[in-house]
Chains A and B, each alone.
Chain A
Amino acid sequence: MRIMNTNTLTTGITRFCDTFIPNSVYTQCVRWKRKPIWLPPVKSKMFRIPKRPVISTEEVLELQRLNNNYRTYMTSLRSYLCHFEMQNKVQLDKESIKQAEEEDFQTCSAINDEWNAEVAKQREVRLANVREKRKKYNLRKLLDKEKHEIKRKKYVDKQIKKAKEEAVTFITAENVDAAIEECLANIVDHNRALDLQGNWHDGTYSPVPPLEETQKPAVVKN
């Protein structure tokens, strides 16, 4: 397929191959039909002289009048709109700005005070609730503590009673010699085992008798 109304010159400018265009039937290059600007005039057009446009005097005058009027009017309108805009702009005056700021601050602070009062009311209610709750909690805690104390006392009493009962069997300074004697008299041999049939097996090694040498005073050794 080929583009219509083209030759190698124009396709060279458009920079694509004229045989490789998908739907070249619908492609017509309008802009680049002309020769590139750097090429000299074509030989056939070498001696062609472009005709000067002839405009009648009345038309020239009319066109000039319309142009002048249009330009004058547009300039005037532009300046008018600029002036209008400048007038409508808020005048920047220091005093007025300061006053406006103060007024703004007053209104803002009034709104803020309102909010503060509202929040204070809410806070009072909330704090009262909290105080009440804490009171109750403390009371409950005290009661619980009392109960716990009573319980503990009972337990302690019980323990003491038990300890007093057991105190009879304690080894004291008076019966320590008797206890030692008794201990020495029946030595317990733990070196034995029990089998499944309930028979005792005594150990091969007899219990080591207390070493008398160790109990010798250090002076004898010297």
Chain B
Amino acid sequence: MPIKFIGRTTDFKGKPLWEILGNLKDFGVGRLVIRNRFQRYPEPCYMKILKVAAMPPPDKPHTDRKVIVLVERVFRGLKSPKPVQMDSATYKADYMLVPKDQEHLYLENNKSPEEKILPRTTDLPPLLSQIIARQMKARGDKVSEEPKLTLKYNFEGASIKSYRLAEEGESPTVKLNFSVDESSVFFPKLEETTSK
């Protein structure tokens, strides 16, 4: 009889790290392990085990055990310069061991996220733009071109996600559309409106 699971579903797929490493020779030192959640990126994400130590068993019953692992982490094609210690996230049942014959798939994957260059400015809201132009005219400034809005980005994950602000005079590779456009799912398409 096949096993039928009852309960809330999860996005995790795999085992906790304790279960994987406990069954391996030398506790899996030198082997590759992947987090299944990170496999959505095209760039390689894997961890190479360097050192393993046990953590005390959990106080509460029916909870997965944790391990302290020192790993060489590669996330989205970027290798961290120092070995990383993993402990608090090791109980998550989301780890998978990479078979030795498939290790080359990860090791030889040299993809890295392509660099995105973001635009520096964009249009102001139409009415505000008019107001500001009028104010500038009233103040006596010469309005040679439309006033532009300087964009402020969140650069917290910029090094990993590989995006940066365009230099002065550089043309951006990413085109951001801030107005309500036809590409939106929620915007009625032209064909649909005409057909109705």
Contacts and interface: CB of A to CB of B under 8 A. Distances in A.
Contact of A59 (B8, B9, B178, B185): B185
A54 B178 CA distance: 27
Contacts of A80: 124, 149-150
A205 interface: no
Given A72-B152, A72-B176, A76-B149, A49 B185 contact: no
B149 A49 contact: no
Interface residues of A, number: 17
A75 interface: yes
B140 interface: no
A72 B9 CA distance: 33
Interface centre among B152, B154, B177 (most CB of A within 10 A): B152
A76 B185 contact: no
A50 B6 CA distance: 11
Interface in B124-146: 124-125, 132
Contacts of B194: none
B8 A49 contact: yes
Contacts of A52: 8-9
A79 B152 contact: yes
B25 to A, nearest CB: 39
A47 B151 CA distance: 50
A58 B177 CA distance: 17
A167 B155 CA distance: 133
B151 A49 contact: no
Contacts of A66: 184
Interface residues of B, number: 19
Given A47-B6, A49-B7, A49-B8, A72 B151 contact: yes
B177 A76 contact: no
A79 B149 CA distance: 10
Contacts of B122: 73, 76
Interface string B141-165: 0000000011111100000000000
Contacts of B152: 72, 75-76, 79
Nearest to B132: A84
Contacts of B7: 49
Contacts of B125: 77
Given A59-B185, A62-B185, A76 B8 contact: no
A76 to B, nearest CB: 5
Contacts of B176: 69, 72
Interface in A108-153: none
Interface of A: 47, 49-50, 52, 58-59, 62, 66, 69, 72-73, 75-77, 79-80, 84
> A-B pairs with the 6 shortest C-beta distances?
A76-B152, A76-B151, A73-B178, A62-B185, A75-B152, A79-B152
6 contacts: A58-B185, A66-B184, A72-B154, A76-B122, A76-B151, A76-B152
Given A69-B178, A73-B178, A76-B122, 12 more contacts: A49-B6, A50-B8, A52-B8, A62-B184, A69-B177, A72-B153, A72-B178, A73-B122, A73-B149, A73-B151, A76-B152, A80-B150
